[in-house]
Structure 1
Amino acid sequence: MANNTVTNTNATDTALDMSVWAGRTDPEPNSERWHQKIQPLSQTAAPGCALLGFESDAGVARNQGRIGAAKGPAALRKALAPLAWHRTGPAYDAGNVRCEGDALEAAQQKLADQLSALLEAEHFPIVLGGGHEVAYGSWLGLAQHLANKGERAPRIGIINFDAHFDLRDPSHVRSSGTPFTQIADQCAQRGWPFRYACLGVSRAANTRALFHRAAELGVMIREDRDFQPAYLERIQRDLERFMVRCDHLYLSIDLDVLPTGEAPGVSAPAARGVSLSLLEPLIEIIRDSGKLRLADLAELNPDHDIDSRTARTAARLVFQLSQ
């Protein structure tokens, strides 16, 4: 297919740069911050939280969005560096996978291979995007890991906080708008169940065709207008019922689910969005379920960020997920 032609077939690992982990050092005891505690990943590292960047704009460019998300991993690390350290286990920087040019498929496979290795080493990976094309590589890494363990039909629950379904037809072009259709197709080929919850969907930003496809695939849908304090407990119960039917969870957070005031630096800013105060309790439930194997954050675009608001919000989300 012409629109999927790869013009540059390279997917590379960029050199690990720990200099981004910098900030203030306080003299009081127990005053460490992330920049003081995070370590470069080694092959002998004890299991911990492993941050892996995905430097890619290719999927956003194919989806005709505003590019710049390839710079997201560096901006997120910079925002995370000064945050207070409250973890009891170690955290590691595992470097970046870089998509060169339009070589999206090669980069997604490279990401999958690295994630599979991290999971094999019993780390909890958090992928720092990058466009939401990261989702296909993330899921593929978890799928490879579970297949290597001999799980024949694992029930992987995908929880996506997003203003968009990202269920567009990949037969035309594979992009940041197609990863969950690609995952559904992979599940069908493997004979695995497809379990997908999309929370924060904007009806104004998704066509009737996409809502129809979501219904056909049995997607759990909660629209952005459903996210009100009075309804939060109901959404929590719905989410818990979804998780009970899953063996493993993969969490994807597209930062465009947030209001523009909280996350201006994304590919497609939300006209309404779901506030961080409503997302955090749900993320904590997912984190504490005992089933979360992998998480990623997508669409941080520093070129359009204001006062690093989006980067700071993303850093807080990584902070919450890593506790």
Structure 2
Amino acid sequence: MVASSLAVAVDVAPTVWSGRDDGPGAEHLRWHHVVTLDHAEAAPGDAAFVGFRSDEGVRRNKGRQGAADGPRTLRAALASMALPQRQRAVDVGDVEVADDDLEGGHRRLGDVVAELLDQGLRVTVLGGGHEVAYGSYLGIAGSGLLRDGARLGVLNLDAHFDLRDEPRPSSGTPFLQMARDEEAAGRRLNYWVLGISQPSNTETLFRTAEQLGVRYLTDTECGALERTRVDAFVEEFLDSCDVVHLTIDLDVLPAAAAPGVSAPAAYGVPMEIVEHVCTKVAASGKPLLVDVAELNPDLDVDTRTARAAARLVHRILVTSAQSTPARARG
């Protein structure tokens, strides 16, 4: 464990961000200029990054491993992106799954995320396989955001439902795990998915989704000419909740845009639609937890997947800062 000003220690300490530098002054700001590694300096409204180094869920799900290196690569892709206005951010380091202990990694990630959320930070979790989503959920469920009856909404941008009923948690089970936890708490999981690929989901998974009341759009319903349908879906989702968990599995994108994932999409949702959805959610002003999953640098081509993921994170954080000006720190 790594000591820090966090009450809960991470496994791997953060490292200094670096990237292109065009000179001093706000007109040259990039992410690496504004990220601090000192959690004690963070103030409510700042962005916060935590990584989840995990391949265990993908391994259990019989996928192609390598996503444990995703957090490092995503940070590198984000570091040189230019900021339109100053904001502050902190990187608290990574939770790492070792010795096949995915369950322990989930608990530790949940503890870290809950602490950051309770400090009023805008948290982005960098995965890791899509098992990261359950650890993120544990954080939001354990935070103060859901007190006083606040309604949680989970929006998954993904080709897959990830509702597998398996003996052990994996990258294919996180939303069934959430549904069971919500049921145990006397609630029904408010789960929506955008980008479902019919050939990638069995009839059993569609039946499970129906039983759980899952709302979804298929990839064929999310094309560039379907923005009105997508907007209506996202607006209805936002109306259904007070707190948002936005989880992005990069295999929602076409393989040409995101080749570096365990299961590249033969069809996928266009980048312009995925970014539009992310921007719309971030602009809602609702409390928001974001995680990004399945970036596998070993399978990437020309860093396309890393750059696509970084652009989505960038757009979400820039939009959320602009939509709530008090959060943007000078």
TM-score by length of 1: 0.92
> Is 2:60 the partner of 1:54?
no
> Is 2:222 the partner of 1:224?
no
Pair 165,131 (structure 1): closer, same or farther in 2 beyond 3 Å: same
Which structure 1 segments of 5+ residues have no match? 1-10
- 1:121-136 to 2 correspondence within 5 Å? 121-136=119-134
- 1:238-249 to 2 correspondence within 5 Å? 238-249=233-244
**Deviation at 1:28?**
6.7
Is the 1:161–1:257 contact (alpha carbons within 8 Å) kept by the matching residues of 2?
A: yes
- 1:111-260 to 2 correspondence within 5 Å? 111-146=109-144, 150-151=147-148, 153-170=149-166, 172-260=167-255
Give a deviation string over 1:211-257, Cα, whole Å, max 9, x none: 11111111111000111222211221121112112111100000000
Tell me, in whole angstroms, the C-alpha distance in 1 between the residues paired with 2:23 and 2:86: 20
- Point out the more displaced range, 42-51 or 249-258: 42-51
- Point out the more displaced range, 258-267 or 32-41: 32-41
**Deviation at 1:271?**
1.0
1:82 is aligned, of 77, 80, 83, to: 80
Is the 1:23–1:82 contact (alpha carbons within 8 Å) kept by the matching residues of 2?
A: yes
- Point out the more displaced range, 310-319 or 85-94: 85-94
Match of 1:82, as an amino acid? S
Equivalent in the alignment of 2:283: 288
**Deviation at 1:88?**
3.5
Pair 150,197 (structure 1): closer, same or farther in 2 beyond 3 Å: closer
3-state SS of paired residue (1:322): helix
Tell me, in whole angstroms, the C-alpha distance in 2 between the residues paired with 1:109 and 1:43: 23
Between the two proteins, the alignment pairs up a number of residues equal to 308
Give a deviation string over 1:66-87, Cα, whole Å, max 9, x none: 0000000000011111110224
Equivalent in the alignment of 1:6: none
3-state SS of paired residue (1:197): strand
Pair 237,41 (structure 1): closer, same or farther in 2 beyond 3 Å: farther
Equivalent in the alignment of 2:326: none
Equivalent in the alignment of 2:322: none
Tell me, in whole angstroms, the C-alpha distance in 2 between the residues paired with 1:157 and 1:200: 17
Pair 176,322 (structure 1): closer, same or farther in 2 beyond 3 Å: same
Tell me, in whole angstroms, the C-alpha distance in 1 between the residues paired with 2:155 and 2:299: 26
Is the 2:71–2:128 contact (alpha carbons within 8 Å) kept by the matching residues of 1?
A: yes
Equivalent in the alignment of 1:66: 64
Give a deviation string over 1:232-286, Cα, whole Å, max 9, x none: 1122112111211211110000000001110010111111111111111111110
Percent sequence identity is 46
Equivalent in the alignment of 1:39: 36
Which structure 2 segments of 5+ residues have no match? 1-8, 319-330
Match of 1:137, as an amino acid? G
**Deviation at 1:99?**
0.5
Equivalent in the alignment of 1:316: 311
Is the 1:41–1:92 contact (alpha carbons within 8 Å) kept by the matching residues of 2?
A: yes
Tell me, in whole angstroms, the C-alpha distance in 2 between the residues paired with 1:284 and 1:235: 13
3-state SS of paired residue (2:90): strand
Tell me, in whole angstroms, the C-alpha distance in 2 between the residues paired with 1:110 and 1:308: 30
